[in-house]
């Protein structure tokens, strides 16, 4: 059961965050209030939320998910693939060490963004993307196997991260869209297809019985509710301008 989450306040420099979109820079004040509402939603799901201060050295530092993978057995500090993000891990290390006895790291030449890691049931899928290379994925698989866990790679074509276009709920229910609709790796799952114009809603989180989804995707919401999941939507439009989704804004454990 998930009991805690780590978040980091957006910094002023968020206006310079990396993006592939043409939606313009986020509005700092709006990002702050959306982030506060996101944090409240995590609390309302029963989590104790550890709030880290803004870090002006790293425009993308509010996307804490990418710098670590927190498993029941150990924590793995990643080595983010974007040069401007690689050193975000340094500030996160003491925080993770406070909560985990076993802390592993991904080393060069490995690159790994944890936004590329999807836990589906008991297995970790690792997207090979512009941010995660084979060396990073192989290091992770070998760490997981030392702790009795499993992982395998999935090649990505167009999306930034694996979880940009898919998500896992429970009991084999997997949300898929775009390039993920015909991946042989995912045929064992009950695939729930989202319309391509609402693909961003596949990045959602099931926390203690509630699915947190981004606001503004009415079809996706209906589809998930029709599967019997209670849904809470959160407006994260400022983070979507810089390629952020629901999962990116927290580390859960
Ligand atoms: C980046 O390009 O790294 C950020 N602007 C977005 C990170 C999104 N993180 C995630 O999907 N886990």
Note the pLDDT of residue 226.
Answer: 98
Element (H, E) at 28: helix 28-44
Note the pLDDT of residue 37.
Answer: 98
Compute, in angstroms, the gap from residue 115 CA to the centroid of ligand 1: 7
Residue 11: active-site member: no
The answer, yes or no, to whether any atom of ligand 1 lies below 6 A from the CB of 10, is no
* Burial (CB count <10 Å: 0-12, 13-18, 19+), residue 241: buried
Please, how many CA atoms are within 13 Å of residue 21, restricted to the half-sphere of its CB?
Answer: 15
Residue 161: active-site member: yes
Q: What domains are defined for the chain?
A: 4-252 (3.75.10.10)
The answer, yes or no, to whether any atom of ligand 1 lies below 6 A from the CB of 19, is yes
SS (H, E, C) 49-117: EEEECCCCCCCCCCCHHHHEEECCCCEEECECCCCCCCCHHHHHHHHHHHHCCCEEECCCCCCECHHHE
Note the pLDDT of residue 159.
Answer: 86
Note the pLDDT of residue 120.
Answer: 97
The answer, yes or no, to whether any atom of ligand 1 lies below 6 A from the CB of 86, is no
pTM above 0.85, yes or no: yes
In angstroms and rounded to an integer, the radius of gyration of the C-alpha atoms of the chain is 17
Total residue length of the chain: 253
Note the pLDDT of residue 136.
Answer: 98
Note the pLDDT of residue 186.
Answer: 94
CA 69 → CA 36, 86, 245, distances in Å? Answer: 23, 15, 17
pLDDT tens, N- to C-terminus, the chain (253 residues): 899 999 999 999 999 999 999 999 999 999 999 999 999 999 999 999 999 999 999 999 999 999 999 999 999 999 999 999 999 999 999 999 999 999 999 999 999 999 999 999 999 999 999 999 999 999 999 999 999 999 999 999 888 899 998 999 999 999 999 889 989 999 999 999 999 999 999 999 999 999 999 999 999 999 999 999 999 999 999 999 999 999 999 999 9
Ligand 1 atom closest to the CA of 164, numbered from 1: 11
Atom 9 of ligand 1: nearest residue by CA position: 248
Compute, in angstroms, the gap from residue 80 CA to the centroid of ligand 1: 10
């Amino acid at each position: 059961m998930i009991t805690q989450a780590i978040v980091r306040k957006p910094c002023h420099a968020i206006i310079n965050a990396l993006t592939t979109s043409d939606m313009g820079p986020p509005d700092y004040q709006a990002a702050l209030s959306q982030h506060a509402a996101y944090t409240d939603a995590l609390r309302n799901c029963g989590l104790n939320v550890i709030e880290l201060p803004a870090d002006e050295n790293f425009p993308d530092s509010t996307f804490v998910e990418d710098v670590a993978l927190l498993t029941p057995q150990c924590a793995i500090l990643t080595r983010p693939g974007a040069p401007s993000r690689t050193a975000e891990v340094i500030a996160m290390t003491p925080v993770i060490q406070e909560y985990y006895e076993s802390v592993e790291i991904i080393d060069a030449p490995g690159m790994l963004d944890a936004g590329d890691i999807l836990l589906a049931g008991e297995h970790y899928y690792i997207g090979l993307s512009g941010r995660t290379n084979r060396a990073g994925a192989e290091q992770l698989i070998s760490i997981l196997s030392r702790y009795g866990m499993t992982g395998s790679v999935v090649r990505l074509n167009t999306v930034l991260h694996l979880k940009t276009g898919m998500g896992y709920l429970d009991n084999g229910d997997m949300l898929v869209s775009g390039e993920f609709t015909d991946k042989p790796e995912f045929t064992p799952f009950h695939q729930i297809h989202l319309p391509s114009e609402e693909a961003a809603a596949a990045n959602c989180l099931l926390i203690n019985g509630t699915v947190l989804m981004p606001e503004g995707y009415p079809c996706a919401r209906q589809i998930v509710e029709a599967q019997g999941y209670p849904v809470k939507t959160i407006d994260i439009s400022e983070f979507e301008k810089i390629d952020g989704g629901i999962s990116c804004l927290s580390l859960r454990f």
